[in-house]
Structure 1
Amino acid sequence: MSEPIAQPSATLVDAPWQAYRRPYVRDLAYVLACPNVLTEWLDFAPHQNTHTISVHSTRFWQAQFAAYRPRLDELDTTNAYQALTRYLVTRPSPNRLGFHFEGLLSFWLEDGFQRGLHSYETLASNVQLYNGKQTTGELDLILYNHADNLVEHWELAIKFFMGSAPFEPENWVGINSNDNLQRKMTHMQTKQFRTVWVDTENHGQVKIDKRYGIIKGRFFLPKNITNFVYPSWLAPSFPMHEWCDKYDTSTLATLDIRELRAAHYIEWFSKRDFYDGRPSALIHSENGILKTGLYFEGDRPIVIYPKQHDEKSD
């Protein structure tokens, strides 16, 4: 693994999705404009016979967002918004964050291809994998890239991870402490990305030419950390915020708990101002200790999380 590089201005993240008024349009803009967390794929299974996995550059996602921006403006200001909402709410499990992320990207892929805004035609999605009659997993997206004449497999993940020193992939963990970046990447590489041939309903059997891991979301650094150095694998423009140990009373004392608002689950994507009138975060505390989760301090997201494993919080 290459040496870390310092990125002193990286925490000043540009958030163009905040310009949109309608929540699902803001989410869609966020999904496109947010870079992949990775600048390169890290191989955590070097002794297994796995395929090469690529990641799209930050420039790639900037270009996709720019090309689709006029359509985002239309969705945000006209009745065209109904097409997006209908698409999302009719998909399986629309209230789960991972499925919402997949639905947003799938809408962009289908809608953008029909409008000639990108070269990716969707051949299949949610392809079931079987071992005999037993389902063993599924593939997220099988696409045909008309620009490069390649069949591509895109595997998606939306992750909201809290980091701790030394900030290697295994040190970025989720609210479920069993979930971390290294474990997710290893699973993707050794499970979904092993597939070579895919049966599609409308295009027959196709052979995968190229594989892309698409991991987006938000990362949270320990509050009051100084001199954080970005590892070379971590995109310096990736959305970065703060987390605080729920038992760190001295740091929590620097927050005005009366001004904190517990976030609605979908606000991991983007803040919904119409939730601002809900009761304050104090009702989400037990014995003066805030519950684990996402809060807003004004418009700034902050996660309250136990530094040590806390089964009750899980």
Structure 2
Amino acid sequence: MSEPIAQPLSTHLIDAAPWEAYKRPYVRDLAYVLACPNVLTKWLDFVPHQNTHEVEVHSAIFWQMQFEAYQQRLKELDSTNEYQQLTRYLLKRPSPNRLGFHFEGLLSFWLEDGFARNLHPYETLANNVQLYNGKQTTGELDLILYNHQEKLVEHWELAIKFFMGSAPFAPENWVGINSNDNLQRKMTHMQTKQFRTVWVDTEKHGQVKIDKRYGVIKGRFFLPINTKEFGHLDYPDWLAPSFPMHEWCDKDDQLNLATIDMTILRSAHYIEWFSKRDFYDGCQPSFTYDENGTLKTGLYFAGDRPIVIYPTQHDPVDDKYQ
């Protein structure tokens, strides 16, 4: 793995998120999914001695171009009855209230809608392709696409991650609300499971051979709440400089919790891991305590400032976050 390189912290904190310009929640989520860069600038091979295929990532410029090409359509979805197409598409999908499925639905809508409008070259050949070992299901592949520009079949494997980081900010140091989940573990699983597939049976296009593989990992990362007190951080070169960064605080860290304005703090609805819904302001308890008198685990907003209250090891995990 490459050595970390020192970069100013300010380059990693997003002040003006372009998705916040949209009024309708699902349009804002869709804009976020497109405008947010991949967390990775390059794929990291944690299993170099295994017979695995090369995996690539799309650059931040790639996603910026896709967002800009789709902006007019986003405005249309945000201001006309076309919004119903997006909502119907998302809500008819399985488990639309789980964040991972919501992410997949948003990207799938863009892929299908954008291809039909000649806004990108990616035709969806298949999605959620089941993998079997005999009669036993062993997994599935997220997206099989045909890139008409490069004339290649591509496999995109998706992940939406909301990870809390700690020094030295290596991939294993970015962990989820479920402490068993971390970036290194997720990438290793993708590379050794889904990305091993070569041939895929599709319903409408027969059997196709995968030419290229892309890991699409987006979301938000959260730094320790006192990190901004420092002038710079040693950030690894695999971490996209424009990836959305916010703050987390240990639920028992009374010193740093005291720096948060509790008068404006409110717990977030689960879907707000994507984007804040202002209509929830004032509609639920400002913040919630557990039986021990400490803040419950989860995402909170202090005004528009997202803050994660990080759990103890034994806190329960809501499966909507998975």
- TM bucket by the smaller chain? over 0.9
Q: Which runs of 5+ in 1 are unaligned?
A: none
Per-residue deviation, 1:68? 0.3
Q: Which moved more, 1:249-258 or 1:15-24?
A: 249-258
- SS of 2:220 mapped into structure 1: strand
1:269 alignment partner, one of 274, 283, 290: 274
The alignment's C-alpha RMSD in Å is: 1.1
| Kept in 1: contact 2:41–2:59 (CA 8 A) | yes
**Paired residue type of 2:32:** Y
Q: Which residue of 1 aligns with 2:120?
A: 118
Question: What fraction of aligned residue pairs are identical, expressed as a percent?
Answer: 79
Q: Within 2, Cα distance between the matches of 1:216 and 1:56?
A: 11
Contact 2:248 2:307 in 1 (8 A): yes
* Deviation of 1:12 (Å): 3.4
The corresponding residue for 1:305 is 310
Indicate conservation of the 8 Å contact 1:260/1:280, yes or no.
Answer: no
Residues 61-96 of structure 1, C-alpha deviations (whole Å, 9 max, x = no match): 000000000000000000000000000000011000
Deviates more, 1:255-264 or 1:103-112: 255-264
Superposition TM-score, scaled by structure 1 size: 0.97
Which AA in structure 2 matches 1:271? K
Instruction: State the distance in 1 between where 2:12 and 2:156 align.
Output: 28
Quote how far apart the aligned CAs of 1:29 are.
0.1
Question: How far apart, in 1, do the equivalents of 2:288 and 2:74 lie?
Answer: 37
Summarize deviations over 1:41-75 as a string: whole Å, max 9, x none: 00011111000000000000000000000000000
Matches within 5 A, 1:188-267: 188-225=190-227, 226=230, 227-267=232-272
Spell out the pairing of 1:86-97 with structure 2 (5 A cutoff). Answer: 86-97=88-99
Q: Which residue of 1 aligns with 2:145?
A: 143
Unmatched segments (≥5 aa) in structure 2: 318-322
Distance in 1 (CA, whole Å) between partners of 2:94 and 2:137 is 17
Q: Superposition pairs for residues 61-80 of structure 1, below 5 Å?
A: 61-80=63-82
Whether 1:105 and 2:107 are equivalent positions in the alignment is yes
The aligned counterpart of 1:3 is 3
Partners of 1:282 and 1:238 in 2: how far apart? 27
**Which letter does structure 2 place at the counterpart of 1:235?**
A
Partner Cα separation in structure 2 for residue 244 and residue 278 of structure 1: 24
Match in the other structure for 2:168: 166
What is the CA distance between 1:255 and its match in structure 2? 1.1
Instruction: Tell me if the contact between 1:5 and 1:230 (Cα under 8 Å) persists in the aligned partners.
Output: yes
Cα distance in 2 for partners of 1:253, 1:264 equals: 23
Give the letter for the 1:141 counterpart: L
What do the CA deviations read for 1:13-63 (whole angstroms, capped 9, x no partner)? 141000000000000000000000000000011111000000000000000
Partner Cα separation in structure 1 for residue 152 and residue 106 of structure 2: 23
Deviation at 1:229, TM superposition (A): 2.3
- Paired residue total: 312
2:267–2:288 CA contact under 8 A, matched in 1: no
Q: Give the Å deviation of 1:118.
A: 0.2
Contact 1:161 1:172 in 2 (8 A): yes
CA contact 1:259–1:280 (8 Å) conserved in 2: no
TM-score, normalized by length of structure 2?
A: 0.95
Q: Deviations over 1:199-237 (max 9, x none)?
A: 000000000000000000000000011232221000000
Classify the secondary structure of the residue corresponding to 2:185: helix
Q: Secondary structure at the match of 1:257?
A: coil
Pairwise CA distance, 1:2:
1.9
- Per mean C-alpha deviation after superposition, the further-off stretch among 163-172 and 11-20 is 11-20
- Counterpart pick for 1:36 among 26, 35, 38: 38
Bigger mean CA offset, 275-284 vs 263-272: 275-284
- Tell me the distance in 1 between the aligned counterparts of 2:205 and 2:102: 26
Amino acid at match of 2:234: V
Residue by residue over 1:116-156, the C-alpha shift from the partner in whole angstroms, topping out at 9 and shown as x without a partner, is 00000000000000000000000000000000000000000
Cross-structure match for 1:12? 13
In structure 2, what is the equivalent of residue 180 of structure 1?
A: 182
Query: For 1:34 and 1:114, how far apart are their aligned partners in 2?
Result: 23
Asked if structure 1 preserves the Cα contact closer than 8 Å seen for 2:13 and 2:246, the reply is no
Question: Is the Cα contact below 8 Å between 2:288 and 2:296 reproduced in 1?
Answer: no
1:103 is aligned with what amino acid? G
Q: SS at 2:5's partner residue? A: coil
